[in-house]
Amino acid sequence: MQNPVWTLIAVFLPLSVVTIGGGQSALAEIQRQTVDVQHWMTSADFVDTFAISRMTPGPGSLIATLIGWKVAGLPGAIAATLALFGPTSFLIYAVAHLWTRYRGARWQVALETGLRPVAAGMILAATNVLIQSMSGGWLARGICLASAAALTFTRVNPVILLALGAATFAAIHPLL
Amino acid sequence: MVLDEHPEKPTALQLFLVFSRIGLTSFGGGLSGLFMREFVDRRAWISRDEFMNGLALSQALPGVNVKNLSIWIGYRIRGRSGAIAGFLGTILPPAIFIIVLASLFARLTQFDLTQSLLIGAGAAAVGLSLSMGLIAGWHVPREAVPMILMATTFVAIGIFHLSLILTVLVAGGIGFAHAYYRAGS
């Protein structure tokens, strides 16, 4: 029987490279590997695991950490996390490094101005997807809009807004 | 690797702590919005343009984008040690948190209150993402090509759920070619 830590690395290392954008892009493949291929957990367990990864702060892709933890304890958690997050770090690091070295080059100026509208479109698109997958009905949507307005027009600390959002929903929702 | 145009450089430890605090207080996504708020608006450690470049590159390059963006921001502020601080700060504390929470999970979800609080916090976090998108859109040049590229990117990814990498390659490629041509003339 192979050491599960190696299997975790073998599963998450390739996923590291195909993960583009949010960790969501790799989620379907993580589910397939975890449930169908490796039989680490049932599909119901996977949904629970996914729910926890959504409820906790930080990157949603930390679901890999949790799967590693469930499969092989602490070594599993460390292996899965590093396999998913580690290798591609060197790529963005190299790009950041080159960016500084060639500051002001024509290709860089073009990248800066050329990518700006694409980045704006991506943020708005991600927001749209988030709004559609949000639970909590109109009350949650109202909180979302109020929070967006407050952040756009004031310098309020977002953490305070999150706390306010949580308190507002918990206070009003039971009355509905 | 000190970038000189930004005053009051934080130490790597300070950077790690700021990334950790943001990582631990972001519920339901919207991490990039919190980063922009903290590093661009509040502390002015990097410029909005530098941030936006990093955001686009982080999403276009392979790897979890929030992690990529942390490394980018960290590198822009403090070079290598900043990049390491960004990586560790964004990944490590939330990773510990998720394991602790998973261990308590069975007890926590028995309370409706926990669910309600998380939904409310999540909604506010989506508002953060919305605000960030609006601000980013506001700063796009009011010209035909950038405006069309922004709208096309939004529709392709947000409405039709087309492949992110394909969209970024095509729209980003057109944007780059257009800007490269303009920069030369």
User: What are the DSSP calls for B54-106, one per residue?
Assistant: HHHHHHHSBS-HHHHHHHHHHHHHHHHHHHHHHHHHHHHHHHHHHHHHHHHHH
Q: Can you tell me the mean pLDDT for B151-175?
A: 83
**Claim to verify: residue B95 and residue B39 sit in the same structural domain:** yes
**Claim to verify: residue B118 and residue B151 sit in the same structural domain:** no
Say whether A166 and B124 touch across the interface (CB within 8 A): yes
Q: Write down the H helix ranges in chain A.
A: 4-18, 24-31, 43-55, 63-85, 87-101, 106-133, 137-153, 158-172
Q: A57-77: per-residue pLDDT in tens? A: 788 788 899 999 989 989 999
**Claim to verify: residue B72 and residue B124 sit in the same structural domain:** yes
Domain span at residue B170 reads 141-185
Cβ-nearest to A92 among B63, B95, B123 = B63
Q: B15-64: per-residue pLDDT in tens? A: 999 999 888 877 655 688 888 888 998 888 998 888 888 887 887 777 78
- Band the pLDDT of B96: cuts 50, 70, 90: very high
> Per the domain annotation, does B116 fall within a domain?
yes
Say whether B29 and A95 touch across the interface (CB within 8 A): no
**Which carries the bigger pLDDT value, residue B145 or residue A113?**
B145
ipTM > 0.85 for the complex: no
> Per the domain annotation, does B3 fall within a domain?
no
- Band the pLDDT of B184: cuts 50, 70, 90: confident
| Residue A124: exposure state from Cβ atoms within 10 A (0-12, 13-18, ≥19) | buried
Q: Distance between the two ends of chain B, CA-based, in angstroms?
A: 33
- Band the pLDDT of B2: cuts 50, 70, 90: very low
Cβ-nearest to A152 among B101, B135, B140 = B135
Q: Mean pLDDT score of chain A, rounded to an integer?
A: 83
What span, in angstroms and rounded, lies between the C-alpha atoms of B170 and B177?
11
Å between B88 CA and nearest CA of chain A: 10
Is-contact B126 A134, C-beta < 8 A? yes
For chain B, how many structural domains are there in total?
Answer: 2
Q: B106-151: per-residue pLDDT in tens? A: 566 666 777 787 778 778 877 877 887 888 888 888 999 999 999 9
**Claim to verify: residue B61 and residue B82 sit in the same structural domain:** yes
Say whether B27 and A116 touch across the interface (CB within 8 A): no
**Claim to verify: residue B90 and residue B152 sit in the same structural domain:** no
Neighbouring-strand partners of residue B62: A20
> Per the domain annotation, does B6 fall within a domain?
no
Å between B14 CA and nearest CA of chain A: 18
**Claim to verify: residue B39 and residue B113 sit in the same structural domain:** yes
Tokens of A147: 């929070």
**Claim to verify: residue B31 and residue B75 sit in the same structural domain:** yes
**Claim to verify: residue B67 and residue B98 sit in the same structural domain:** yes
What is the CA angle B158-B137-A59, rounded to 5? 55
What span, in angstroms and rounded, lies between the C-alpha atoms of A62 and A82?
11
**Claim to verify: residue B111 and residue B67 sit in the same structural domain:** yes
Say whether A120 and B83 touch across the interface (CB within 8 A): no
**Claim to verify: residue B102 and residue B170 sit in the same structural domain:** no
Q: A11-45: per-residue pLDDT in tens? A: 888 877 766 555 555 676 787 888 888 899 887 77
Most confident of the ranges A121-135, A147-161, B99-113: A147-161
Tokens of A175: 């009355």
Say whether A119 and B55 touch across the interface (CB within 8 A): yes
Å between B30 CA and nearest CA of chain A: 9
Cβ-nearest to A117 among B62, B125, B150 = B150
Spell out which residues of chain A touch residue B178, defining contact as CB-CB under 8 Å. Answer: 114
Tokens of B114: 């926990």
> Per the domain annotation, does B135 fall within a domain?
yes
> Per the domain annotation, does B122 fall within a domain?
yes
**Claim to verify: residue B110 and residue B182 sit in the same structural domain:** no
DSSP three-state, residue A104: coil
**Claim to verify: residue B80 and residue B132 sit in the same structural domain:** yes
